[in-house]
Amino acid sequence: MTLPNYAFFRGKIVPYSEAKVGVMTHALNYGTAIFGGVRGYWNEAEEELFIFRPHDHFQRLLNSARMMLMDIPFTREQLTELSIELLQKEGHRQDVYMRPMAYFADEIIGVKLHDLKTEVTIFSVPFDKYVSNDTGAHVTFSSWRRVDDNMIPARAKVAGAYVNTAFVKTDAVRAGFDEALVLGQDGHISEGSAENIFMVRNGALITPPVTDNILEGITRASILELAEKEVGIPVVQRSIDRTEVYIADEMFMTGTAAQVTAITKVDHRPVGDGQMGPVTAKLRKLYDDAVRGRLPKYRDWNYPVFEKMVVK
């Protein structure tokens, strides 16, 4: 993967090679970091890079920080401005993935959350697809269970909790699948390894509620809004049983990285007729138009990077 040229690190933008931490760093030893994943989309016609819903992403980061007793000395608006400055300096003219992170920076021994120093860093890299087979993914049910909210906050993006994700993803890929569906402790489907999940059944779009140990996805929120307002399909947030997916008409996963990935097979069983369904196809198109700034009604989701070029 191409390395970034710059990073926001210890309060300023520095060459990426200078953004280094010591091996005793608390977050490296105990997983005590929180992070975000934000995409920037290049719009060729406007020659502009649009960050997708940065305020919502940064609000979630601040919420994660709150749960972890981290002090982030920036507002979501300031974090957006910092990101714009960083992306201007990188000068990307292509789709990018941006990673804001807050971590406990103390170089000490001791597992805890209190009385520690928080540092914030942001970097970005060019980025294309995350799930390569995003028009017809074959998924399995993971033998792993999703991290429960009473173990590590499921609605926070805590670095340490992503060991759970890593087990899920590696076992699925090594078994020949594109992705996996992860059950919670109670046996209901929580989400994918790093995606929220949706199914279409009997004319309704259904997704697990925020109380089923999911990460409260920004893509999920965008899809719920687009489905209701633009596709006109009823949306329902309720728990999903394992065997419901075997008789679902359509399924897809959503995430900043995965975008809208159609699921056409679960454990060798076709979903619906085994092809991407019409609701999924419509939502994929709407989402792609929305993120690239092509839907005037949703332009407030798109933050231009180069419009307010700061010459420094």
By beta-carbon proximity to ligand PMP, the closer residue of 40 and 255 is: 255
By beta-carbon proximity to ligand PMP, the closer residue of 204 and 210 is: 210
Please, what is the minimum distance in Å from the beta carbon of residue 194 to ligand PMP? 4
Name the catalytic one among 157, 229, 285, 297: 157
Name the one range near ligand PMP by CB under 6 A: 13-21, 128-136, 188-196, 297-305: 188-196
Please, what is the minimum distance in Å from the beta carbon of residue 295 to ligand PMP? 18
Select the residue interacting with ligand PMP from 85, 90, 106, 191 (CB under 6 A): 191
Say whether residue 208 binds ligand PMP (CB under 6 A): no
Q: What does the block give as tokens for 64? A: 């994660």
Q: How far apart are CA 11 and CA 25, in angstroms?
A: 17
Name the one range near ligand PMP by CB under 6 A: 76-84, 95-103, 214-222, 281-289: 214-222
> Which amino acid is it at 202?
N
Tell me how crowded residue 44 is: count the other CB atoms within 10 A of its CB: 9
Say whether residue 254 binds ligand PMP (CB under 6 A): yes
Give catalytic status of residue 20 as yes or no.
no
Angle subtended at Cα 69 by Cα 65 and Cα 74, rounded to the nearest 5 degrees: 45
Please, what is the minimum distance in Å from the beta carbon of residue 110 to ligand PMP? 28
Select the residue interacting with ligand PMP from 40, 217, 272, 293 (CB under 6 A): 217
Residues in the chain: 312
Sequence-distant (6+) residues with CB within 8 A of 189 are 181, 182, 183, 197, 208, 212, 239, 240, 241, 242, 245
Under a CB-based contact definition with an 8 Å cutoff, are residues 24 and 80 in contact? no
Identify the sign of the CA torsion 33, 165, 254, 244. negative
Contacts with ligand PMP, residue ranges (CB under 6 A): 37, 165, 191, 194-196, 215, 217-220, 254-256
Where in the sequence numbering do the catalytic residues fall? Answer: 157
